[in-house]
Amino acid sequence: MTTDTTPPAGPGPADTASAAKPSVLFVCVHNAGRSQMAAAYLHHLSEGRIEVLSAGSRPASQVNPAAVEAMAEEGIDIAAETPKILTTDAVEASDVVVTMGCGDECPYFPGKRYEDWVLDDPAGKGVESVRPIRDEIKRRIQHLIEDLLPG
């Protein structure tokens, strides 16, 4: 009788990837459109390598149509983002919590990396006023991806 001294195999490549996948929770207090733009960019630009735990508090059908149009110009369908209800489990599972200019109104998240993205209010109405906000969100998402993903 022989004894196999080979150590048991660890998790496979897929298991390792999912275990190491960072997650970001977007908390919407005031502006579901901004949260959902950020969530759509994060999902799109990270190619799914970062998990989006919450995309806002309203269905995409109730988001400002100018935000939907501004994202469509980038080839991103904001309606594909499904809002999730903020739960304690989502907060616990997240690596980063991002709010959109909530300031003191945002709940406290002990032990979590927290960012409050204060963005200028649009000067007008329609897609022209949303484009600068969209571009700033995209810039911040790109920095977030660089921070969270190695290489």
Contacts 24+ apart (CB under 8 A), 47-52: 49/21, 49/149, 50/21, 50/22, 50/23, 50/24, 50/145, 50/148, 50/149, 51/21, 51/22, 51/23, 51/24, 52/23, 52/24, 52/26, 52/81
Residue 102 annotated among the catalytic residues of the structure:
yes
Pick the catalytic residue from 45, 79, 106, 149: 106
Pick the catalytic residue from 29, 90, 102, 119: 102
Q: Which residues are catalytic?
A: 28, 102, 106
